[in-house]
Amino acid sequence: MYTSNVRGWESSVLRALKNPAAAWEAVKCRVRGQVLTIWCRLFRPRVKIGRSLLLYGRLKIRGPGRVIIGDNVEIGMLVTPYTHSPEAVITIGDRTFLNGTRFGCRERIDVGARSILAECRITDYDYHSVHPLHRNDPAWVKSRPVRIGENVWITVQCIVLKGVTIGQGSTIAANSLVTNDIPSFVIAGGNPAVVLKKLDVSAAPDQ
């Protein structure tokens, strides 16, 4: 294990020497992530951030609920995990990349490890009632948990609505509206999103 760690350190040094500007940027992002992690531990007890948060962009956390971020998560652009009730919980799995993602949670949103979420919106509830006489009555606003599996890629300008489960290994094409469950290992897209292609994960990619 010690030899493996030394080799990993040597590899990091070589990469830094080849591209010092990128290396310096990575160091700054790790420092920013560490500062935010310490700040949340001191002043935001309902926010839990794991090891080695890499903060290229901004992480703007609001609301009375809980936000739980795993290890080695990367943040690009502006990411907004907003909770809208004390019972709300947003969990982000290890090694996930959030790049401009916006969350609105009143109940629960779970994102699996190693996922990639671009500039999309994910919400587990309707912000207002469709009934014209009860637009802002919380009792008339529906919510259901959202579950996103491991290694899922949700591309740019997608919207994932309440009650949706996206299976592991799937990709959601750009500008899609996801209103129903998506199975594992598929490409889905459209408004509403439907399965466009099933992926054979045992086969090598086309050359």
Residue 95: which domain range? 18-198
CB atoms within 10 A of CB 77: 13
Token duo for residue 55: 């903060």
Token duo for residue 23: 């290396």
Domain membership flag for residue 74: yes
d(CA 103, CA 121): 6
Give residue-wise pLDDT tens across range 191-205. Answer: 999 999 999 988 666
Domain membership flag for residue 108: yes
Q: pTM of the prediction?
A: 0.88
Domain membership flag for residue 133: yes
Domain membership flag for residue 78: yes
What's the pLDDT score for residue 90? 98
Tell me the residue type at 24: W
Strand partners, 125: 143
d(CA 154, CA 172): 5
Coil, strand or helix: which one is 201? coil
Q: Tell whether the model's pLDDT for residue 63 goes beyond 80.
A: yes
Domain membership flag for residue 95: yes
Question: What is the rounded average pLDDT for all residues in the chain?
Answer: 91
Strand partners, 48: 68
Q: How confident is the model at residue 7 (pLDDT cuts 50, 70, 90)?
A: low
What is the number of residues in the chain?
207
Domain membership flag for residue 83: yes
What's the pLDDT score for residue 26? 83
Q: Which residues are catalytic?
A: 131
Domain membership flag for residue 4: no
Coil, strand or helix: which one is 110? strand
Q: What is the CATH number of the domain that holds 170?
A: 2.160.10.10
Phi, psi of 78 (to 5 degrees): -100, 120
- Count of domains in the chain? 1
- DSSP conformation class of 146: E
d(CA 157, CA 81): 17
Domain membership flag for residue 5: no
14-43: average pLDDT: 85
Give residue-wise pLDDT tens across range 167-192. Answer: 999 999 999 999 999 999 999 999 99
